[in-house]
């Protein structure tokens, strides 16, 4: 299975235990999960210096209902991957390509109401800066300074008022490094967590309850750990190595995690729950017997949908619904080759593609790639979108 990569810096941050980067985890589509679409700081003005660096395919766009955002890439030999975002209505309507030539999904994030995109932009050989594109007005602007320190891995706060990001620089002062926040209009830049020497941080996901998940990486050595920071109290917690956040619900244990693919070792892709107060990790699946290719809470946070496949044979993955304990499993017929499910109010959206090679330790996909929707109690899946280019991930936005 192809995974997504962190943007590689001259510092050589990757390691033998660093999990490959995945798109930011979607928040469960509950009534409180998505903030108002009103801009938190008014309509921004455009900076002409940003326009040549961000390539929108539309002058403006607003979602009218829950919309799946497809992350697709056309791979070319000898060229870096360039990603395109395509908005696919979860109910009905044509797909809308939004922006092209985006870098790795670890370097950008879309606000949960679909109103703005933040991206870490490289300018020639200079360190990256954060820029935003307001999808409602088309305005583009910088929100971090050009000060010789790279701004990396931006993530919107759940209310869309702030962006959290990491600052990295080989020769920068310690006071300029760590985890930072900045308002959506570029004001109130501040450090929220300093890091020990030789460590850098990459935000991954911000929950509705104000928990920031981030990766702690050792510079130039092996090691990467998923960490959590309570933004209200400042309380840090270490979750563990080689883990991805897949989904979040408001009751404990709140975090649905998937063990990630490290640079070395077998693909032990299992699901577990994490209680961010007690620190307890509870396995839901046994990665020695089955592999997980994505999972999500249902909108009420009481059930889970997961893409699972057995390790002993070559059967394709399929969607399975289960209780929060991992019991009471139901396989959804007709979802063979499904992965990365999102449990929306309209149904369960997922990526479907042709499996070109399958073995106990391998799973390769090929075109065509589709985004499909199926009812939680089963039935015939509906194709929402089809592409010959690879769809490497999906998430959703809702106004």
CA angle 348, 156, 84 (to 5 degrees): 60
pLDDT tens, residue by residue, 198-250: 788 999 999 999 999 999 987 765 567 999 999 999 999 999 988 999 999 99
pLDDT tens, residue by residue, 216-225: 987 765 567 9
Report residue 229: phi and psi, to 5°. -130, 120
Alpha-carbon distances, residue 312 vs 85, 289, 290, 315, 358 (angstroms): 36, 7, 8, 9, 11
Which phi-psi region, left, alpha or beta, contains residue 88 (left: φ > 0; alpha: ψ -120 to 50)?
Answer: beta
**DSSP element (H, E) containing 272:** strand 271-274
Q: Which domains does the chain have, with CATH numbers?
A: 55-397 (2.120.10.30)
Tell me how far apart the alpha carbons of residues 83 and 102 are, in angstroms, rounded to a whole number: 5
Give the rounded distance of the alpha carbon of 81 from its chain centre. 17
For range 132-150, the mean pLDDT = 92
Within 194-270, strands assigned E span 199-206, 211-218, 224-230, 236-241, 243-248, 255-259
Percent of the chain at pLDDT above 90?
Answer: 62
Residue 221: predicted pLDDT: 59
Q: b/e per residue, 324-346, with b = 16+ CB within 10 A?
A: bebeeeeebeebebbbbbbbbeb
pLDDT tens, residue by residue, 369-399: 999 999 999 999 999 999 999 999 999 999 9
For range 268-279, the mean pLDDT = 92
Alpha-carbon distances, residue 304 vs 60, 112, 339, 341, 358 (angstroms): 35, 21, 14, 10, 25
Give the rounded distance of the alpha carbon of 374 from its chain centre. 22
pLDDT tens, residue by residue, 319-375: 999 999 999 999 999 999 999 999 999 999 999 998 777 666 667 788 999 999 999
pLDDT tens, residue by residue, 27-49: 566 544 434 444 444 455 688 88
């Amino acid at each position: 299975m192809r995974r997504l990569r962190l943007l590689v810096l001259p510092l050589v941050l990757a390691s033998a235990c660093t999990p490959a980067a995945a798109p930011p985890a979607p928040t469960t589509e509950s009534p409180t999960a998505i903030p108002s679409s009103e801009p938190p700081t008014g309509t921004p003005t455009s900076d002409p210096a940003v326009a040549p660096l961000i390539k929108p395919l539309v002058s403006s766009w607003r979602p009218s209902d829950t919309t799946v955002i497809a992350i697709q890439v056309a791979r070319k030999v000898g060229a870096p991957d360039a990603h395109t975002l395509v908005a696919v209505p979860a109910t009905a309507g044509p797909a809308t390509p939004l922006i092209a030539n985006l870098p790795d999904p670890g370097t950008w994030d879309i606000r949960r109401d679909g109103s703005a995109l933040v991206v870490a932009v490289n300018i020639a050989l200079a360190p990256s800066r954060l820029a935003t594109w307001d999808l409602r007005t088309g305005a583009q602007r910088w929100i971090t300074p050009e000060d010789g320190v790279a701004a990396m891995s931006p993530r919107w706060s759940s209310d869309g008022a702030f962006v959290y990001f990491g600052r990295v620089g080989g020769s920068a002062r310690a006071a300029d490094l760590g985890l930072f926040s900045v308002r959506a209009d570029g004001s109130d830049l501040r450090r929220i967590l300093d890091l020990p020497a030789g460590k850098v941080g990459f935000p991954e996901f911000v929950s509705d309850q104000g928990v920031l998940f981030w990766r702690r990486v050792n510079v130039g050595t092996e090691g990467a750990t998923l960490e959590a920071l309570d933004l209200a109290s400042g309380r840090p917690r270490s979750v563990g190595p080689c883990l991805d956040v897949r989904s979040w619900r408001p009751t404990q244990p709140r975090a649905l995690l998937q063990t990630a693919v490290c640079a070395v070792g077998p693909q032990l892709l299992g699901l577990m729950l994490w209680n961010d107060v007690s620190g307890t990790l509870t396995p839901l699946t046994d990665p020695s017997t089955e592999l997980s290719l994505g999972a999500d809470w249902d909108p009420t946070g009481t059930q889970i949908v997961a893409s699972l496949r057995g390790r002993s044979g070559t059967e394709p993955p399929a969607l399975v619904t289960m209780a929060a304990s991992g019991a009471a499993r139901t396989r959804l017929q007709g979802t063979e080759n499904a992965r990365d499910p999102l449990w929306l109010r309209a149904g369960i959206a997922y990526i479907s593609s042709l499996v070109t090679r399958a073995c106990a330790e391998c799973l390769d996909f090929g075109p065509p790639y589709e985004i499909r929707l199926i009812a939680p109690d089963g039935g015939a899946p509906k194709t929402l979108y089809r592409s010959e280019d690879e769809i490497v991930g999906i998430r959703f936005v809702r106004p």
